[in-house]
Amino acid sequence: MLSIDQICKIYPNGTHALDKIALDVGAGEIVSLVGGSGCGKTTLLRMISGLESPTRGAVSLDGDVILAPHPAVGIVFQEARLLPWLTVAENIAFGLDHLPKTERDKRVDEALLRVGLSGYGKRWPRELSGGQAQRVAIVRALVAQPKALLLDEPFSALDALTRASLQDHLLALWDAHRPTMVLVTHDVEEAVLLADRAIVLQPRPGRIFADIPIELPRPRDRLSPEFADAKRMVMHALDGSLSQPTPTKSGKATQPAGWW
């Protein structure tokens, strides 16, 4: 289990980025973080990854407090960030030196096959399209079989068709080993498509405004009435998070009549 225990973040210049964030994410669960600009989504993700330290509170994974980048936590950024001097296969295998070569090669080949890039292992990053490069970045993070995978708007720079394709690829990859996943996104449809819960954050400072379960079976139909209802629920909470200066005492939004 990923546990976020009363996280606060105050920067040296006095900026209060996050305040009393408390959240538990179960093993194999997918949670999306949505909210307006300045609500601390990326800051929270960086603390979960160990790239930043909280001012107060703690983050732990299966009871192990995260104080620095952790081998059981993978991360995918907005850009692919592939190493240009390594081939596609070498990028994916980066960090797997502890495994025998036969096992490394097997994992790389299986990963490329899963994202439709079989035969691309000897290519260079510069030879890939944006969507292909991001597929490689995702499998690079997953090939180590992390307990938790963090994604910071990984599809934001892609066109709509490529984005939809990669969302499906991501779910297929997740289904193989079921890591805990935390996704930062500005796209409500993406949050509803991928996540088991949508966490809506309220800005200045970042706080949890609503924790919304997405109780739809997978694969999810983007055109179904139930999908549209879930999107409206998240959008309603998002609107509320931007219009109300303070959360309720529970830190969550109450559902006003007529949200559906």
Share of the chain above pLDDT 70, in %: 93
Task: Show the beta-strand stretches assigned E in the chain.
Answer: 2-10, 16-25, 30-35, 56-61, 64-65, 73-76, 148-152, 180-184, 197-202, 207-213
Selected residue with higher pLDDT from 192 and 243: 192
Separation of alpha carbons 122 and 53, rounded Å:
38
pTM, entire model:
0.86
What pLDDT shows up at residue 259?
A: 30
Check residue 258 and give its pLDDT: 30
The pLDDT value given to residue 247: 45
| Homologous superfamily of 71-186 | P-loop containing nucleotide triphosphate hydrolases (3.40.50.300)
Q: How high is the mean pLDDT of the chain?
A: 88
Each residue of 81-101: pLDDT tens digit?
Answer: 999 999 999 999 988 888 899
Domain with CATH 3.40.50.300 in the chain: 1-25+37-69, 71-186
Residues 155 and 166: their CA atoms lie apart, in Å, by 8
Domain 1-25+37-69 sits in CATH 3.40.50.300: yes
Residue 178 burial class via C-beta count within 10 angstroms: exposed 0-12, middle 13-18, buried 19 and up: exposed
What percent of the chain is modeled with pLDDT above 90?
61
pLDDT at 150 over 80: yes
Neighbour count for residue 147 (Cβ, 10 Å): 19
pLDDT of amino acid 244: 62
Indicate whether 105 pLDDT > 50.
Answer: yes
Q: Which tokens go with 213?
A: 């379960």
- What confidence tier does 250 reach under pLDDT thresholds 50, 70, 90? very low
d(Cα 49, Cα 194) in Å, to the nearest integer? Answer: 20
- CA 52: distance to chain centroid? 17
**Ramachandran bin of 158, using left for φ above 0, alpha for ψ from -120 to 50, beta for the remaining angles:** beta
